[in-house]
Amino acid sequence: MDKRNKMMDKKEIMELLNEQWSNAACCGYVIKTCTSLKLDKSIVNLILKELRNSFEIVTVEQAKKIYYDS
């Protein structure tokens, strides 16, 4: 593996770590919002389950577009 490939690997790792933090932060925002709205815990859990599923099927760029287009 040459130096360039190693740098790409480090970049990919950093992006992955950043994405995981962002996912956790996003879940925290959702929990905080749901708590402020006094939603039932079962509803919050359902929202979080669907959100985690979205993390797997929607890219960050797609999510940004959905947000900005809403």
Per-residue pLDDT of the chain (70 residues; tens, 9 = 90+): 555 556 667 777 777 777 767 899 999 999 999 999 999 999 999 999 999 999 999 998 899 899 999 9
Q: Are 28 and 44 in contact (CB under 8 A)?
A: no
Number of domains in the chain: 1
Domain that holds residue 21: 3-69
The DSSP code sequence of 32-65 is HHHHHTT--HHHHHHHHHHHHHHHHHS-HHHHHH
What span, in angstroms and rounded, lies between the C-alpha atoms of 59 and 6?
24
What span, in angstroms and rounded, lies between the C-alpha atoms of 67 and 70?
5
